[in-house]
């Protein structure tokens, strides 16, 4: 089925041609006609399936019709996304698909100066893409007007709930026109009970769109497990990176400190690497992603902040350096590769202590992951074959020195909390 059969506005079709999509993906085929009819939809689609275009294209179509009749005034659409990165990415997609339409878009997310965002919204943004935290802050101060809103999108709904945004989302939705008077589109990679309850409360007779098996990782991703002792994970990663097929590699770790430490180790081994976690400033997070996307660096070490929604073309490998604590995170992480029907590989390091997590995952996805052994790797080495950087304080200081261009006063860090095993790292 070609894109032209949806009846999308001509400027949108030209933009699609320009980005080079030959035909719609399955979620687009299933969702676009329903959204164009004005139905509410609950779409369960794995990451990387093209779901952003599935809601952005019909939204642009609706707005461009109003524009043609000179009726486009104020904010007609609101898209809520869990992370700043995803909000930025959706905004970029809107700019790209809407390049031939003069529709105004504003992105509202935390971590950066709010004034320019308020100005953009008040200047008449027709679409606002936002993370719930910053949006609720501006709503509370009456900086935004949603009285004309027609379309609400909740993207990565499961993720937003997981991140504790439910009260914020409820407050935001209460400030919008009633559900019978708006179109509500919900996208979620998984469909736990909490998401179902959200759909019941926020949507009006929604149609269900489901592409691919629920809770199963993308079919295009080849998966493998390496059982490796914890003290040899660095050496294992370095051994894998000797293979040039590992061209663009996203490495997931559980904690911010772990990301810093591993980045430093890889740098020492002359591997071009950057890192993404919530302890970095928004500017540095944006730069890290941009460097990885452009191919300026080969490896991105990230916490689960990068696991959802982030679209990076051509990620050859996802490495679960630290095994994810729950199956949903695994599905999202490996969804960063094998996107839009490209091949990708996901490898997971599983020390003995994490075998129970692997078991839980395999039950959840209903398949046993292939075990692999790396030839000529010494699984019985007593100590790491590589040099671990000295005391934490020293390498942190060095990392800071490299990143900070002008002299700053020494940063003070709060004392580390004791007894918290997995601090929130987003
Ligand atoms: P998403 O799931 O929205 O994050 O999209 C994943 C990737 O698929 C992005 O790189 C999109 O540019 C790409 N994409 C979206 N729709 C299509 C399509 N119809 N054909 C090829 N690639 C697409």
Q: Is the CB of 46 under 6 A from ligand 1?
A: no
pLDDT at site 260: 96
Rounded Cα gap, residues 211 and 95, in angstroms? 26
* Share of residues in the chain with pLDDT > 90 (%): 61
Rounded Cα gap, residues 82 and 131, in angstroms? 6
- Long-range own/partner contacts, residues 291-299 (CB < 8 A, 24 or more apart): 292/248, 292/250, 295/248, 296/272, 297/272, 297/273, 298/241, 298/246, 298/247, 298/248, 298/249, 298/271, 298/272, 298/273, 299/241, 299/249, 299/250, 299/251, 299/266, 299/271, 299/272, 299/273, 299/274
Q: Map residue 209 onto helix, strand or coil.
A: strand
Ligand 1 center from residue 175 Cα (angstroms): 32
pLDDT at site 409: 43
Residue of the CA atom closest to atom 12 of ligand 1: 50
Bridging pattern class, strands 151-154 and 207-211: unpaired
Q: How many CA atoms lie within 13 A of 284 on its CB side?
A: 16
Rounded Cα gap, residues 416 and 407, in angstroms? 25
Q: Map residue 87 onto helix, strand or coil.
A: helix
Residue of the CA atom closest to atom 15 of ligand 1: 50
pLDDT at site 216: 52
Q: pLDDT grade, residue 335 (50/70/90)?
A: confident
- List the end-to-end C-alpha distance of the chain, in Å, as a whole number: 39
Q: Is the CB of 51 under 6 A from ligand 1?
A: yes
What's the whole-number mean pLDDT along residues 240-250? Answer: 93
What are 406's two structure tokens? 């002008």
Q: Is the CB of 48 under 6 A from ligand 1?
A: yes
Rounded Cα gap, residues 417 and 134, in angstroms? 27
Q: pLDDT grade, residue 72 (50/70/90)?
A: confident
Q: pLDDT grade, residue 399 (50/70/90)?
A: very low
Rounded Cα gap, residues 25 and 21, in angstroms? 9
Averaged pLDDT of the chain: 85
Q: Is the CB of 58 under 6 A from ligand 1?
A: no
Give the position, in ligand 1's atom list, of the atom nearest the Cα of 22: 20
Give the position, in ligand 1's atom list, of the atom nearest the Cα of 47: 2
Q: Is the CB of 68 under 6 A from ligand 1?
A: no
Q: What is the DSSP letter of 369?
A: P
Q: pLDDT grade, residue 226 (50/70/90)?
A: very high
What stretches of 163-232 show up as alpha helix (H) in DSSP?
A: 166-174, 193-202
Q: Is the CB of 340 under 6 A from ligand 1?
A: yes
Q: pLDDT grade, residue 342 (50/70/90)?
A: low
Rounded Cα gap, residues 418 and 346, in angstroms? 33
- Contact between 347 and 369 (Cβ < 8 Å): no
C-alpha distance from residue 393 to each of 260, 285, 400, 419 (Å): 12, 22, 11, 20
Rounded Cα gap, residues 317 and 155, in angstroms? 25
What's the whole-number mean pLDDT along residues 349-363? Answer: 91
Ligand 1 center from residue 48 Cα (angstroms): 6
Q: Of the residues 22, 24, 32, 50, which should be mutated to test ligand 1's pocket, given the most ligand atoms within 8 Å of the CB?
A: 50
- Contact between 253 and 303 (Cβ < 8 Å): yes
Q: How many CA atoms lie within 13 A of 136 on its CB side?
A: 15
What stretches of 219-299 show up as alpha helix (H) in DSSP?
A: 233-241, 256-268, 282-294
- Contact between 118 and 143 (Cβ < 8 Å): yes
Q: Is the CB of 341 under 6 A from ligand 1?
A: no
Task: Tell me: pLDDT of 55 over 70.
Answer: yes
Task: Tell me: pLDDT of 310 over 80.
Answer: no
Rounded Cα gap, residues 52 and 343, in angstroms? 20
Ligand 1 center from residue 264 Cα (angstroms): 33
Q: Is the CB of 308 under 6 A from ligand 1?
A: no
Q: Is the CB of 25 under 6 A from ligand 1?
A: yes
Angle between helices 10-19 and 84-97 (to 10 degrees): 110
Give the position, in ligand 1's atom list, of the atom nearest the Cα of 309: 4
What's the whole-number mean pLDDT along residues 211-235? Answer: 78
- Contact between 113 and 311 (Cβ < 8 Å): no
Weakest-pLDDT range from 54-58, 84-88, 355-359, 385-389: 385-389
Rounded Cα gap, residues 423 and 426, in angstroms? 9
What's the whole-number mean pLDDT along residues 265-279? Answer: 94
pLDDT at site 142: 81
Ligand 1 center from residue 422 Cα (angstroms): 33
Q: Is the CB of 101 under 6 A from ligand 1?
A: no
Mind listing the pLDDT tens digit for each residue in 281-291? 888 998 999 99
* CA-based nearest residue to 62, from 123, 121, 12: 12
Task: Check residues 358 and 312 and name the one with the higher pLDDT.
Answer: 358
Q: Is the CB of 311 under 6 A from ligand 1?
A: yes
**Domains plus CATH for the chain?**
3-211 (3.40.50.300), 221-365 (3.40.50.300)
Residue 133 CB coordination number (10 Å) = 15
């Amino acid at each position: 089925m070609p894109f032209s059969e949806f009846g999308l506005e001509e400027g949108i079709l030209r933009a699609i041609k320009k980005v080079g999509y030959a035909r719609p993906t399955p979620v687009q085929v299933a969702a676009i006609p329903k959204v164009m009819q004005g139905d509410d939809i609950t779409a369960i689609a794995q990451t990387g399936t093209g779901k952003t275009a599935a809601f952005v294209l019909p939204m642009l179509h609706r707005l461009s019709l109003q524009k043609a009749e000179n009726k486009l005034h104020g904010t007609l659409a609101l898209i809520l996304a869990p992370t700043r990165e995803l909000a930025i990415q959706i905004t970029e997609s809107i700019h790209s698909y809407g390049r031939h339409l003069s529709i105004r878009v504003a992105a509202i997310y935390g971590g950066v100066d709010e004034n320019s965002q308020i100005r953009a919204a008040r200047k008449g943004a027709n679409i606002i893409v936002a993370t719930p935290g910053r949006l609720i802050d501006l709503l509370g101060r009456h900086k935004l007007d949603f009285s004309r809103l027609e379309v609400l999108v909740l993207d990565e709904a499961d993720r937003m709930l997981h991140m504790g945004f439910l009260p914020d989302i409820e407050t935001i939705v209460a400030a919008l026109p009633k559900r019978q008077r708006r179109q509500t589109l919900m996208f979620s990679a998984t469909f736990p009970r909490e998401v179902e309850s959200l759909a019941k409360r926020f949507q009006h007779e929604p149609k269900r769109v489901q592409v691919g098996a629920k809770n199963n990782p993308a079919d295009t991703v080849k998966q493998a497990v390496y059982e490796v002792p914890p003290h040899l994970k660095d050496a294992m990663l370095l051994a894998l990176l000797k293979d040039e097929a590992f061209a663009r590699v996203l490495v997931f770790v559980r904690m911010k400190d772990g990301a810093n430490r591993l980045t430093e180790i890889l740098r020492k081994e002359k591997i071009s690497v950057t890192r993404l976690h919530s302890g970095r400033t928004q500017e540095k997070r944006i730069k890290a992603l941009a460097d990885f996307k452009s191919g300026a660096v080969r490896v991105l070490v990230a916490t689960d902040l990068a696991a959802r929604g982030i679209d990076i073309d051509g990620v050859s490998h996802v490495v679960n350096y630290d095994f994810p604590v729950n199956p949903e995170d695994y599905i999202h992480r490996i969804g960063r590769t094998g996107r839009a029907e490209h091949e990708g590989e996901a490898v997971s390091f599983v020390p003995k202590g994490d075998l129970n997590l692997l078991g839980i995952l395999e039950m959840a996805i209903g398949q046993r992951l292939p075990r692999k052994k790396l030839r000529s790797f010494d699984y019985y080495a007593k100590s790491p074959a590589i040099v671990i950087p000295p005391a934490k304080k020293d390498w942190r200081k060095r990392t800071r020195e490299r990143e900070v261009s002008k002299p700053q006063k020494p940063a003070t860090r709060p004392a580390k909390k004791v007894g918290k095993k997995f601090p929130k790292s987003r």
